[in-house]
Amino acid sequence: MTYIPPYKMTSSCKIDTTWFPFDDQQCILKFGSWVYNGFKMNLKMQSDEMDLGTYVTNPKWAVVSAEGKRNEVIYECCPEPYLDIAFTIKLRRRTISYWTQNIIPSITITLVSILTILIPATTPTPRFLVIFLLFILLSFTIPKDLPTPSLLSSLLGWCYFIMFSVLIHSIIVTAIANALFLKSSFINKMFRAIASRLSCGGFDEKMTEEEVRYKFAKSFDIFAMSCIFVAFIIVVGFNILSAPFLIVQ
């Protein structure tokens, strides 16, 4: 009769979160005896890899490999060899949940915040209301176990930076579109010249203050939206494409 008692073992491994959640982790499990040397207990391997026949699938990690190696060590204190078997377990994080719950929502929310620039600066209340609601929604996309530094924290940080840029631009362009902004004759003439050149290339003294504010704010919005959108796409693309892998089910 062979009796193999059940035993539950808990181990800890050092984790590198640089590419989180597109990261691979490596854990080394070493089995050996501190009491019996190699002459009294000879450890042998049946195969070069760990038997995963009874492995229970983990919802967060996928096992890439579990290679084993037999080691023989002779210490200075003792002439006898001491044997151990070390298993190197390589794990890969499952990324589907992070795509659906964090990455795609945060990118979508940030893109919508950029589109709020299309709301005319002459009616700023809807624009600021939408930006405020998007900030709240973005805060829900941050995972509870977000490590720093990591690729995901960098991506979310850029999303917040882009949304703050949209907010600051909206404040500036709303101030320009305000009726009190052109009370100064110098500012009035300067913005008339800029707005007329942006619209038709000539200086029109007959333009009303409302037309000057509207045309300049519209041109400033289009320029800012284009720059912010291009910067966001470049940064997001660079961060995502630099990951070692993208999708693990």
Beta carbons of 176 and 131 less than 8 angstroms apart = no
pLDDT for residue 7 = 81
Element (H, E) at 27: strand 24-32
pLDDT for residue 205 = 55
Locus of tokens 């917040």: 160
pLDDT for residue 203 = 47
Summarize pLDDT for 60-119 with one digit per residue, the tens: 999 999 999 999 988 888 888 999 999 999 999 999 999 999 999 999 999 999 999 999
User: Bigger pLDDT: 200 or 92?
Assistant: 92
Beta carbons of 59 and 51 less than 8 angstroms apart = no
Total Cβ atoms within 10 A of residue 80? 13
What is the spatial distance between Cα 56 and Cα 81, in angstroms, rounded to a whole number? 35
Beta carbons of 152 and 21 less than 8 angstroms apart = yes
Residues 6+ positions from 126 with CB-CB distance below 8 Å: 119
User: Bigger pLDDT: 43 or 234?
Assistant: 234
